[in-house]
Amino acid sequence: MNTPHYPHPIIAREGWPFLAGSILIALLVTQWSPGWSIPLWIIAVFVLQFFRDPARSGSTAANAVLSPADGRIVVVEHTHDPYGNREALKISVFMNVFNVHSNRSPVDGKVQSVEYFPGKFFNAALDKASLENERNAMVIQTESGHIVTATQVAGLVAKRILCYAKVGDTLARGQRYGFIRFGSRVDVYLPPGSRPRVAIGDKVSATSTVLAELPETIA
């Protein structure tokens, strides 16, 4: 079964209750004291920008791996993929509270597994966050047979990881599959031989930025 494409209503559906609540409280306080309501309107604006969810387009090259999130590159290294049980190229995208927080599939492929791990809430920019924080790992197999793992990792203040993909779903690159609330990261594990197209410190945009190129053949 294919996971349906999210219709991109500009503001992520996960944020509708938060936005409605913050605006309602600000309106009520405005009726009582316009001056005291100013901080509440600032909070409402923050909630509005946090839950924005713009539509994106990206490369259609068959071997392109697209960024699953907006943010900054904090890791580019060869390491072990604990979810796919193999050696891999790991690229990590750290999202701060001002980035778009919806997550999108980095490749076209079929979901092989989805596994949730409870954990701690260290700063998501730290290396130990990958294996010690609360996280959700999704393993995808591309049509050419490559295995790609995308792991949503909760951060210091992130308290909810949402993943809508299920085992057996077929995802398209750039297709929205999840959301993490309030600061986090996404780790992408790629097969050996993949060529990174980003470096530590680079700013990336979900779907619009190519993180790496998959190898032409399977090792």
Instruction: Please classify residue 219 by burial: count the beta carbons closer than 10 Å to its beta carbon, then call 0-12 exposed, 13-18 middle and 19+ buried.
Output: exposed
Residue 28 sits in which domain range? 10-53
Cα angle at 87 between 61 and 183, to 5 degrees? 70
Share of the chain above pLDDT 90, in %: 49
Based on the domain organization, do 78 and 179 belong to the same domain? yes
Domain co-membership, 106 together with 184: yes
Indicate whether 141 belongs to any domain. yes
pLDDT band at 2 (very low <50, low <70, confident <90, very high): very low
Query: What DSSP character marks residue 15?
Result: G
- Specify the pLDDT at position 91: 97
Report whether 165 contacts 150 (CB < 8 A). no
pTM to 2 decimals?
0.84
pLDDT of residue 107: 96
The span from the CA of 216 to the CA of 219, in Å, is 9
Residues 36-59 have a mean pLDDT of 84
Average pLDDT in the 113-124 region? 83
**Residues 23 and 77 occupy one common structural domain:** no
Note if 184 is an active site residue.
yes
Choice between 154 and 90, residue whose per-residue pLDDT is larger: 90
Shared-domain flag, residues 118 and 148: yes
Strands in 4-101 per DSSP E: 10-11, 52-53, 64-66, 71-81, 86-95
List of long-range contacts for 197-201, beta carbons under 8 Å, 24+ apart:
198/67, 198/73, 198/76, 198/91, 199/73, 199/76, 200/73, 200/74, 200/75, 200/76, 201/72, 201/73
Q: How many domains does the chain have?
A: 2
**2, part of any domain:** no
Catalytic site residue from 67, 102, 105, 184 = 184
C-alpha of 28 from chain center: 35
Report yes or no on 124 lying in a domain.
Answer: yes
Residues 26 and 116 in one domain: no
pLDDT for residue 155: 75
Same domain membership, residue 31 and residue 86: no
Give me the CATH number covering residue 186. Answer: 2.70.70
pLDDT digits (tens, 9 = 90+) for 128-139: 878 888 899 999
* pLDDT tens, position by position, 121-161: 776 677 787 888 889 999 999 999 999 999 999 877 656 78
